[in-house]
Each structure stands twice: as C-alpha cells, then as structure tokens.
Amino acid sequence: MTRYGFLGPVGTFTQAALAGWPAAKGREQTAFSSVDKALAALREGEIDAAMVPIENSVEGGVSATLDALHTGDPLTVVGEVLVPITFVLAVRPGTTRDDVRAVGTHPHGWAQVRGWMGSELPDAVYVPTLSTAAAAADLAAGLVDSYQAAVCAPVAAQGTGLQVLASDIEDRSGAVTRFVLAARPGELPEPTGADKTTVVVYQYDDHAGGLLELLEQFAARGINISRLESRPTGDVMGRYCFSIDFEGHVRDARVGEALTGLRRVAADVRFLGSYPRADGQQASIQLTATDDAFADADRWLADLRGERTH
Amino acid sequence: MTRYGFLGPVGTFTQAALAGWPAAKGREQTAFSSVDKALAALREGEIDAAMVPIENSVEGGVSATLDALHTGDPLTVVGEVLVPITFVLAVRPGTTRDDVRAVGTHPHGWAQVRGWMGSELPDAVYVPTLSTAAAAADLAAGLVDSYQAAVCAPVAAQGTGLQVLASDIEDRSGAVTRFVLAARPGELPEPTGADKTTVVVYQYDDHAGGLLELLEQFAARGINISRLESRPTGDVMGRYCFSIDFEGHVRDARVGEALTGLRRVAADVRFLGSYPRADGQQASIQLTATDDAFADADRWLADLRGERTH
Amino acid sequence: MTRYGFLGPVGTFTQAALAGWPAAKGREQTAFSSVDKALAALREGEIDAAMVPIENSVEGGVSATLDALHTGDPLTVVGEVLVPITFVLAVRPGTTRDDVRAVGTHPHGWAQVRGWMGSELPDAVYVPTLSTAAAAADLAAGLVDSYQAAVCAPVAAQGTGLQVLASDIEDRSGAVTRFVLAARPGELPEPTGADKTTVVVYQYDDHAGGLLELLEQFAARGINISRLESRPTGDVMGRYCFSIDFEGHVRDARVGEALTGLRRVAADVRFLGSYPRADGQQASIQLTATDDAFADADRWLADLRGERTH
Amino acid sequence: MTRYGFLGPVGTFTQAALAGWPAAKGREQTAFSSVDKALAALREGEIDAAMVPIENSVEGGVSATLDALHTGDPLTVVGEVLVPITFVLAVRPGTTRDDVRAVGTHPHGWAQVRGWMGSELPDAVYVPTLSTAAAAADLAAGLVDSYQAAVCAPVAAQGTGLQVLASDIEDRSGAVTRFVLAARPGELPEPTGADKTTVVVYQYDDHAGGLLELLEQFAARGINISRLESRPTGDVMGRYCFSIDFEGHVRDARVGEALTGLRRVAADVRFLGSYPRADGQQASIQLTATDDAFADADRWLADLRGERTH
C-alpha cells in the first residue's frame, strides 16, 4: 500500500494514529474532511488504506465509522492503532496565560478539559470550533480573534508552530482512542495469536432472545467478545444490526466455526476483517477451543463417519 | 448378520421386537437371560446383533441396557423397533375364569393390569414370577400349582400352547416399548432423513450450568433432543453422565458439528450409533440447519479465508 | 409419624435405610412387596411414611419410584438416606464353601458379585430369585434345594439366622443406594443450609431448546442441579417429563424464584419436597444468589418502584 | 414541571421534539449548547426536565447523551418523542437557486442530503457549520457570506424568517430521531401497557459468556430487548457497560424480577426510568410472563411454603 488517507485535518489524533503505523512512513498521506469521504476515496481506488477512528474518539466519528464501514462496497479492517488522548493549551508565541480570555476547541475536546479549565482559567470563555485541529490551525494562521488559546492534540500545536502553555490538561488521564486501518478486500493479515475479528450481524427479526441466539454461537465455541454495539439498520426505528469485535482470527478453527454458525442463523453477516491487536495481548483460549481441540474432534468425527481408513 | 440374540426367555416382548426386524427372519435367534449376557455374547463375537429393550419396558431393563451399552468394548445401535405392549390372560386348555384363584406374572406386568384384575377377577391372588414369559412357560409346563392363569404377551401364550381367556387387558392402551438392535462397530446404516443418534456424554465436573453448556452445543446447531437421562457414572454418588437421543444422522452436517462440539467441551463422548427411526418420522430441520445451509456457510468461510480461487 | 412402611421383604437394603432414620426407631415398620403398594398405603393413610429406593438400587425400583411418587395424589419427600451397598455370601449353619454348588440371588445382586464369584466359586451355578432378601429367607426357611448359598445384604443374613461365609464380596466397593422417605403433604422440614429439592417438570411441547429453557430458570438463579432424568409421561412414546433434584430448600429465595419461573414456563410442575441432604454437604451458593443478595435486590426494586418511604 | 431545557440552539430537531411534548406547551423553554450543559442544569435544579436526543440524531449526541445520563447524580427518563427527520433548503428572501454557489450545514445534515445536492445543485460548494440551526441562524442574521443557502430543519427556517427553496430533500425518507425527556428522580410515570424501561448494566468482568449471562436474566422472564449498546466505562479501553432499552414497566412483575436478577449478577445497575413508548405499541407479552402468570406462580409458591392458610 502506497497511498494512505486519514480523517483530517492535519493535526488531529487520527494523523497521530497513522504516524503509529510503521508501513505508512514516507508514504503519501492525504487528509479527508470526513470519515465518509476517506472511505469513499478508498472504495474508488484513490487511496489504498484509510485510518479512521472507531472507538471513544474525541473527534467524534465512532458511529459514523461503524456505519460507513459496512455500508456500500466491502471494506476490510487490516489493523488497529491505539492513541493516548492528551491535550495541550496552545497559544501564539508571546501570548501568556493572563492574555487568555477565551479558549477555542471542539466540544468533545472541551468536555475533557472542563475540570482543568475551571480551576486554572476559571474566567475563560469557551468558543466552539469544528475540530481541535481547526482551533489550532485558525489560531496559528491569525484568522480568529474570538479566542486566544486552543485546546488541541500535541501534534496540532507542533505542526502549526503554536506554543504550549500547559500539557496533559485532560481531566481523566489514561484515555485512548482506537483507530482502524481500512483497505479494500485482498490479502488477510496473517494470524499472530493476538488477533481480533470484526463483523456486523443482521438479525432475521427482533424477538426476545434473538440476540441471545447470536451470542450462543460465540459461547458454544469459547470465544470472547470484546465489543458489541447495536446499530440501527436505517430501515425503521427499532431495527438493529450488531457491530461485534471478538478475539481470534478468521483462520482460527473456533472463529471459522462461529462465523459459519452466525452465517446460518443470522439474516446477514458482514465480515470486516481479522487483524493483529494493537495491544498485542494473546487471546485467552480455553483448552476446549484450541485449533488442536478442533482438529482432534474432526478426526474423531471422521472415524465415526467411516471416512478414515488409516 | 446371521446370528441374533435377544433378552429372553422366548415369549417376551423382546422376541416380538426381533420378529419385527425383517433381516432377522429365518436367522439363528438365541435367547439370553439378561441384557448383560446378550451384550457380552455380542462383544465376544458369539452373536452378530442383540435386540434389547431400552425404554419403558414392562420387563424392566431400561437402565441396565443404557449402562451396559456404553460400558465395556464399543457397541453400536443399528436400528430400533417399537412394540405395542398388550397383555393377555392365558390358561391351560380347559381352565375357565371361575377356576382362576391366583394369577402369576412379573411385577411390572401386574402393575399394568391391576385395574382390569380389580374389576374382572377381584378375588384372584397375585403370585410374582421372574418374567411374564416365565409365568406362561411354567404354567404351560405344569410346573406350578400356585397360580392357574398367567398375564403375559400374546406371543408367550401362542408359543407355549396356552389358551387366551382375555386380550388387551392392560389398563392403559397405546403403551409401546422401544427396543434397539446393537451390533459391534462396523458399517453405519445410511442416512434416511428420518434418523436418530444416540450418545453418552460425560461432564468434566458438576457445576451449575454444566448441563446447559452441553445442551447449547445442540441448540447452536438447531438439533432436537428426543431423550435425555442422567445416569450415575458409578464412581461416586452424584456424578452423572448423560444418555441422549437426538434427531439426525452422524453424516448430517449439523449433527457432525454438534458432535465435535460435544467432543471438545465434554470429558468424554461415547457414540452409540445413528440409525433409522422406527416411526419413520422425518427430522424437523430448520432452514438454518440443513446440509445446504452448512455447505453455503462453509463456502462463504472459504472465501473469507482466501481458500477458494474460483 | 408413628407408622412406617418400606419396600420389603425384611432383609433388604431398604430396611437398612429405615434403620438409618432415627425417628423411625421403635415405631411400627411394615414391609410392602412393591414400591407401588407402599405408596398406595401411604396415600390411603394406612401408614405415615414410606422408605423407598430412588437411585442406583440393587433391588431395582428407581424408575418405578420416580414414576409412582409423582403419579396420583400428591406425596412429599421429607428426607433421604444413603446406604452403602455391600453383599455377603450367606449359608445355613453347617454349610461350607465346598458344599456350595449353586448360589441364589436377585439378578441385580448377581451382577455386582460376578467378578468375585468367578474367582472364588467359579463352578457355582446362578439361580435367580425375586429379591436378595427372598433368596436368604427361602434358604433359611429350608424352602429351596436349588441353591446352597444366598448373596444378600448383611441385614438379611442377620435377620434370618444365616451364617456369613464371606463379606464385602461386591466387585466395586463404595457403591451406595439412595432412599427417600415419602409422606403425605404437610409440614415441610426446616431449611438446614444443606438441603435438596425434588420436582417433576412437564414441558409444553418438545421443541429444540425446550429443555434449555427450563434449565435457564435454574441457571438464572445460580442453582446447581444434582440429578436430571427424562421420564416418559406415559401419553405417547417420545413425550417426557423431567425428574430433577437440585440444591437448596423451597424457602431459600433463589429456589422460590426458580420454582415460580418453572411454574410459569412449564406445562406443569410437581413439587416433591425439600429435605436435608443425607451427606450434610452445604449448598455451594454464589454470592449473587444468597438470601441476602435477593433481599437486597428486592429492597432496591421497592425503592425504584417508590414502594418504600423510609 | 414548569421549566424545560433542550439541546439548542433554537431551530434544531430537539426543539421540535419538545414541541411534541404537550405538557411543555406554554412553559419556560431554555436552549442549552450541549447535552452535558442541559443535564447539568437539570441536576442542579435550574430546570425541571431536559429534552435530549438519544438515538440516530442528525445533530450528533447519541453517545454523549447515553453517557451523560448515567454519569453523575441520578436522572430518570420520563418520556420519549420521535421526530421525523426532514430537511429543507433555506435562503434569505430574494435568493434564487441560481444564486446558490455554496451551502452551509452541519456535516451530519450534509451526509443526509448529498444525493439530492448532487443531482439538483451539483456545483454547490459545501461549507461545514457547528449545527444545522446555526447554519440557518447565521445566514438569516447576515453574518456569513461564505454560503447562500442553509440545509436545516423546517422549524429552523420558520423561526429565522428564511425562505424554503425545497422541502424533503433528505436522501432517505422515513428517518426519525428519538429524544428522551429526562428529569430528576421522583414520581414514576404510570404503567400504560406500552412502556419501555432503560437501564445501564456494569459487568463484573469481561469473560466469554458474560453478556450472555446478563441477557439470560431477560430471557428467563420473557422480556424483549429493543436496544443494546456497549459503552466504554471510561476506566480502561475494552471495559464496557451496557445501555439497554427493553419492553415493559418497572412495576410489571416480569420487569421487576428481571431487574432484581440483573442487580444480583451484575456489578451495578443504573435504572434510568420506565416511560410510555412514543409509538404506543403494546408490549408483546408471552402468556408465561404476564402479571397474572407471576401472581399465580407466587400463590403456588406460598402454598408450597405453607405461607397461606386460606
């Protein structure tokens, strides 16, 4: 892959995520103004991969990404990146804290620094902007006079030449956002033993216990679900599909069997990829669900069926 | 198969069951005094197949058969026969109802005609015997003077030359006993679309929800269980295995997958055979569990894994 | 309770079970020739309690007891007794091993000493009798000349004045039979913390997952099932009810809620009693299923509903 | 309730939702610039109820609302409103289609009219704004010259005196957004037979089958789940709580029991209210889960426990 896209503008956490993907280094990197646009460009072949936020992003985008990935031509997730979310208070060189009467940032960014602001700059007025990166860029470019400081990602301050007055100003430390790298279907990443698979599952109808039935397909093969979200199908209010991440790779025996089980009992299953986990944590596989356990059971069944002669 | 055995003596319902198995017609048919002995002779090669009662027998034997089938060298069930259970009151030629002051039969037989006896022969004394057939045989042979009439199967009266004073004297009509024909492992009966499979499953340990876990292996593949019994494993009181009959043939896709699932999660699985149902009732297979549904899901998975090129 | 009955004849393991029930000491104790007769006498008020075998009995009776308990007027189990199953070889005074050419006993008894007989008395012929106690009684009374030794319970040898040639001759030591004391419905035994409850549950219809649904009622309240058997309902072959033992007392919160759940989803539930376990083993209750957990949750719900003002 | 708040600004779909709540008519209605701010005002007693978007909103806000509702002092949902999502193309009086070279709106609004724009105004440039209402307000106030038309809700065009050039320009008709009216805990809305309950459930830990366990609490009481979303708890990536809507009212017997079940097995349960469904659709209650079925089962249990004398 030589052409990468990301949810822009330059200076967002998504660019930081792309910076954390070694293979993208030195490659063409294009910023898109929305997840939809980045994925459209990917589907149309203008780029080869797109880095988009999928969970807990300060820039928004979770639901948009989930929906955009499984609507339209098939796309596959080939990797994920976790980015620690941390904010700085950035100003034009020369500005001091006392000069700051108003602060510009995206509402999601503001939500995460309100505590700090309340105690450190209690009199500062909040000015909403379209993104944290835009707050920084516009400030640096001298385009605004409604605020004197921007709350943004460290990378945005660096990239625009702003000065950092305060770092790590987020109220809750340890927050991370999860990004995924989407590509057109092609070669699967090889299993690593620490993999994750993402699917979207559509139910036939919405009866009591319907979701239970889907989840039993995982439980019957000892598979751990790591994320589950109902998403509206867009048809009528109250109809849902389920976006699900679970441990393991499509080439693992237990995962393959669970997927065929879902395929049978669900109205539809969209496979969105198997890829190495960003945290490298090995899957916790019960002894009854290893590839060996499946192979042993398959040999036993072949014997029962009289399919083996040796 | 040329040599058949059955739970004797001659004149029991088990002989009637063997008479209902066309292939046994004209073959050697040996009566054994217990299920254990019949199965031992089968395991040692003295006979090729044994007809034994497995459910609701008036001659007893259910538990004994269940346990004997899965303990020791492997045996396979290759067929089942249902025999309507009906009783006659049989006497030596010349005996009239007024002559009958005592009636001999097996306790299980007596239990099923008590109502009739109470209204038709209220003064008759009950004399327990070792089997209903023995009651008839001993009476016919002039070996007993403690009773003047026997309650037995029609076949026993016929075979011993006794005269039938009254037929269909059972209190609850419509009762049937289920018999199975056991053989040494070999060729499986072909799938017919109306098949049954019998297994014995041993749990790893006895925790809340353990049985639930086993049953989910069936539910996840849409398989209907038709009989389930816990049987003590014989190790310690309170440890059980489960004897299970379910719809379908080991060569059906859904059955194969359920069996491998059991094999993985259970401590042990004894496969006791797939065989045509005696009642010929087609399995009720959900659309999501047909062989086609499995084959379609397998192709889909192969595509996801990049295993198919066409 | 002053009048006790038991499955006779005198000298069986069932009498030994009654001997293990302290309250029966010195009371009237009547032997019945079948479980059915003992329970009929109990239902008609001729006796106040009946000791009958319910599991793994060498005298037969498991299925008969299970069915007899829940068919007809309600009966309640008020206690259980475990009796170690051990056999002796008993002879008339003066008889020596060399004199023993044939051995009389019940088929179930014979099945449990075959190994010992094969090595110690390999030439002895087996003579089936109606019960192990009858084998002993008839031998002691001089009524038989077809065998010279009986295999029976120690209590049968003692009671009939026979002499014990060999003890503990069972092939598998450690076997026990479980007996229950049945009574007419009345006062429940108090909860002891080590209780068991027995029910019979009838399904509405026989669909895939029907049993699963019943078992979820237990699982949802953290209740451990200790015995489960499908029993034919007697209507048509293939229709079953389930005889179930589980940990806990009907007055335990988790048990009460599970029972009401069963009552709602099942076609019928027959409550057969809550009673102290014979082995005294305390129930293993998860923290989420204690009476306190239920009471806490009830208070919380009352608050949500605005039912509490303090 | 006399003081209402809503997610502003004036002219959003949220204001339309509040207009659909009869009791709010003629009351004080305050616009807040974020869901957080509206709920904070509610928690602090400045307003008595807040209308906020909770599902599928074009203005964003779903996740923010879900999280804000269950974080901090308890709030209760007392009602819901469904608002059809429809867009107009609005201009200052006198502007014609030919004058429109750029269109301002919120990115979510733009996403829903892209098809219409592509065919009707293919050359128009898209200018992102902070909300659809702001696009209209700024245009009406003459504050912008970067765009000549706004895509906004009909209510926004009306309220600002803009002229509607085209109506119903959304690409997918039939979309609705769901809003809820939140209040401080107090009187519960009465059950109507067509109610919904919302809870947030925290798992103890994240094991295979953990979610299954929670869902069994609903299934065991025949309760239909209408929405389920995993939400990060904010502690560490990969730890979730579940936001769940289900049919029924906390005063319904089946709902009460399911809630106590969740309370026992979950680490925590936040009850967010029982309220009439906006669509008035009666709950589909199985016969086994009606209040009568619960009451009947409770009486039966009381009898078993000897708690009733009449």
Q: Which domains does chain C have, with CATH numbers?
A: 1-85+170-187 (3.40.190.10), 88-154 (3.40.190.10), 189-310 (3.30.70.260)
Give the model confidence (pLDDT) of A168-200 as tens digits. 999 877 778 889 999 999 889 999 999 999 999
Asked whether the predicted pLDDT for residue B268 surpasses 60, the reply is yes
Of the candidates C220, C259, C296, which has its C-beta nearest D261's C-beta? C220
ipTM of this predicted structure? 0.83
Q: Measure the N-to-C terminal CA separation of chain B; round to a whole number of Å.
A: 47
Asked whether the predicted pLDDT for residue D22 surpasses 90, the reply is yes
Q: Return the higher-pLDDT residue of C34 and A82.
A: A82
Mean residue pLDDT across chain B: 88
Give the model's pLDDT for residue A114: 86
Give me the percent of chain A exceeding a pLDDT of 70: 93
What mean pLDDT is predicted for residues D280-303?
A: 90
Residue count of chain D, please give it. Answer: 310
Nearest CA in chain D to C221: D261
Give the model's pLDDT for residue D239: 65
Give the model confidence (pLDDT) of B235-245 as tens digits. 655 567 888 99
Interface probe with D: pick from C263, C272, C291, most Cβ of D within 10 Å: C263
Q: Rounded distance, CA A101 to CA A121, Å?
A: 9
Give the model confidence (pLDDT) of D134-181 as tens digits. 999 999 999 998 999 999 999 899 999 999 999 999 987 777 888 999
* pLDDT-based confidence at residue D54 (cuts at 50, 70, 90): confident
Q: Measure the N-to-C terminal CA separation of chain D; round to a whole number of Å.
A: 46
Chain-centroid distance of CA B190 in Å reads 20
Q: Rounded distance, CA C42 to CA C50, Å?
A: 7
Give the model confidence (pLDDT) of A19-72 as tens digits. 999 999 999 999 998 888 899 999 999 999 999 988 765 554 566 787 888 888
Instruction: Please judge whether D232 and A82 are an interchain contact, meaning their C-beta atoms are less than 8 angstroms apart.
Output: no
Asked whether the predicted pLDDT for residue D19 surpasses 90, the reply is yes
What subunits make at least 3 CB pairs under 8 angstroms with C? Answer: B, D
Asked whether the predicted pLDDT for residue B23 surpasses 60, the reply is yes
Instruction: Please judge whether A211 and D206 are an interchain contact, meaning their C-beta atoms are less than 8 angstroms apart.
Output: no
Contacts (Cβ under 8 Å, ≥6 apart) of D85: D13, D58, D112, D170, D175, D176, D177
Contact yes or no for C56/B56 (Cβ under 8 A): no
Interface probe with D: pick from A130, A179, A229, A290, most Cβ of D within 10 Å: A229
Give the model's pLDDT for residue A103: 96
Q: What are residue B102's DSSP bridge partners?
A: B125
Give the model's pLDDT for residue A234: 62
Angle at A209 between CA A208 and CA A214, to 5 degrees: 140
Q: Measure the N-to-C terminal CA separation of chain A; round to a whole number of Å.
A: 46
Interface probe with B: pick from C62, C125, C228, C237, most Cβ of B within 10 Å: C237
Q: Rounded distance, CA D292 to CA C264, Å?
A: 10
Q: Rounded distance, CA B118 to CA B126, Å?
A: 11
Q: Rounded distance, CA A4 to CA A41, Å?
A: 10
Mean residue pLDDT across chain C: 88
Contact yes or no for C74/B74 (Cβ under 8 A): no
* pLDDT-based confidence at residue A254 (cuts at 50, 70, 90): very high
What mean pLDDT is predicted for residues A161-166?
A: 96
Give the model's pLDDT for residue D236: 58
Of the candidates B216, B261, B305, which has its C-beta nearest A251's C-beta? B305
Give the model's pLDDT for residue A71: 83
Output the CA torsion sign for A30, A31, A32, A36: positive
* pLDDT-based confidence at residue D226 (cuts at 50, 70, 90): confident
Exposed e or buried b for every residue in D79-95, given b needs 16+ CB within 10 A? bbbbbebbbbbbbbeeb
Asked whether the predicted pLDDT for residue D215 surpasses 90, the reply is no
Contact status of D192 with chain A (Cβ, < 8 Å): no
Give the model's pLDDT for residue A86: 92
Q: Rounded distance, CA D125 to CA C155, Å?
A: 101
* pLDDT-based confidence at residue B114 (cuts at 50, 70, 90): confident
Chain-centroid distance of CA C57 in Å reads 8
Contact yes or no for B244/B199 (Cβ under 8 A): yes
What mean pLDDT is predicted for residues C232-238?
A: 62
Give the model's pLDDT for residue C58: 53
Asked whether the predicted pLDDT for residue A237 surpasses 60, the reply is no
Give the model's pLDDT for residue A65: 82
The pTM for the full model equals: 0.82
Report which residue type is found at A161. Answer: G
Asked whether the predicted pLDDT for residue D60 surpasses 60, the reply is no
Contact yes or no for B171/B108 (Cβ under 8 A): no
Give the model's pLDDT for residue D237: 54
Give the model's pLDDT for residue C248: 95
Alpha-helix residue ranges (DSSP H) falling in B171-252 = 210-219
Contact status of A220 with chain B (Cβ, < 8 Å): yes
Asked whether the predicted pLDDT for residue B149 surpasses 80, the reply is yes
Give the model's pLDDT for residue C237: 53
Of the candidates C191, C193, C196, C152, the residue with the CA atom closest to the CA atom of residue C59: C152
Chain C CB contacts of D294 under 8 Å are 260, 264
Asked whether the predicted pLDDT for residue C243 surpasses 90, the reply is no
Of the candidates B128, B208, B219, which has its C-beta nearest C223's C-beta? B208
Would you list the DSSP string of D199-221? EEEE-SS--TTHHHHHHHHHHTT
Give the model's pLDDT for residue C298: 94
Asked whether the predicted pLDDT for residue C205 surpasses 70, the reply is no
Mean residue pLDDT across chain D: 88
What mean pLDDT is predicted for residues B50-72?
A: 75
Greatest mean pLDDT among A131-140, B171-180, D170-179 lies in A131-140
Give the model's pLDDT for residue C62: 64
Give the model confidence (pLDDT) of D75-132 as tens digits. 999 999 999 889 999 999 999 999 999 999 987 788 789 889 989 998 998 888 888 9
Q: Is C84 helix (H, G, I), strand (E, B) or coil?
A: strand
Q: How far is CA B156 from CA B181, B186, C127, in A?
A: 21, 34, 22
**Separation in Å, CA of D209 to nearest CA in chain C:** 13
Asked whether the predicted pLDDT for residue C60 surpasses 60, the reply is no
Give the model's pLDDT for residue D235: 61
Asked whether the predicted pLDDT for residue B96 surpasses 90, the reply is yes
Give the model confidence (pLDDT) of C145-182 as tens digits. 899 999 999 989 998 999 999 999 998 777 788 899 99
Chain C CB contacts of B206 under 8 Å are 224, 226
Instruction: Please judge whether C56 and B237 are an interchain contact, meaning their C-beta atoms are less than 8 angstroms apart.
Output: yes
C 81-100 residues inside an 8 A Cβ radius of B: 82
Asked whether the predicted pLDDT for residue D62 surpasses 70, the reply is no
Give the model's pLDDT for residue D140: 96
What interhelical angle do D210-219 and C210-219 show, nearest 10?
Answer: 100
